[in-house]
Amino acid sequence: MFAATPEETSGWTLQDTDGFLEYQLRHGRTGVRTEVVDAGFIAPPSHVAEALRVPEGTDVFALKRVRYLDGEIALFSTNWFPRQIGDVVAGATDVLDGSGSLNSTLRQAGHTLNSAQRVIHALSAPPEVAENLKVADDQAVLRIRSRSWDQNDVLFDYYETWVLTDVVPLEVKVAAAN
């Protein structure tokens, strides 16, 4: 038997309120790059309208990004926002060119993450995901779907992130309830 100090975190802790970029920077990793693949108002797929609690056919803002860590593709994300939040993101040129923090932009607009619900599945990569992650269509990838509420209990963000866990392991911290 032996005792060891826990390893320094090397992944992304899902219960953290920071996004991927902020989490990596907070832990001293500066090799994060964001490529915006697409951004604009769209009629959302039904699962998005349901998750955001907007009527079918109501335009939402979609932001699709590929994130790199130390030169390697790490994840592909799509965030969807209701119209009012989407207007804020649509006006954030630094977010749209991949140089700015989406979470900072949302916080500045008054939407600080207070709670989130995240669901993780291992699935075969759909064609758009496989193309952006540069993997085979049948490769298993972890998908995280998350809905975020702000301090006023306003649902302001729904995202779907596909993570290559060989590049960015997902971490979950466990603590006893008091």
Asked, for residue 131, whether it belongs to a domain, the answer is yes
Asked, for residue 5, whether it belongs to a domain, the answer is no
Number of domains making up the chain: 1
Asked, for residue 145, whether it belongs to a domain, the answer is yes
Cα separation, 128 vs 119, whole angstroms: 20
For residue 49, give the amino acid letter.
A
The chain-wide mean pLDDT, for the chain, equals: 85
Asked, for residue 1, whether it belongs to a domain, the answer is no
Residue 33: predicted pLDDT: 87
CATH number at residue 145: 3.40.1410.10
Pair of tokens at residue 113: 């993450």
Asked, for residue 21, whether it belongs to a domain, the answer is yes
Quickly state the pLDDT bin for 163 (edges 50, 70, 90).
very high
Asked, for residue 176, whether it belongs to a domain, the answer is no
Answer yes or no: are the C-beta atoms of 61 and 40 closer than 8 Å.
yes
Q: What are phi and psi of 57, to 5 degrees?
A: 85, -10
Asked, for residue 153, whether it belongs to a domain, the answer is yes
Q: What is the pTM of this model?
A: 0.84
Pair of tokens at residue 95: 């977010």
pLDDT, tens only, 62-121 = 999 999 988 999 999 999 999 999 999 999 999 999 999 898 899 899 998 888 888 889
What domain range includes position 50?
12-167
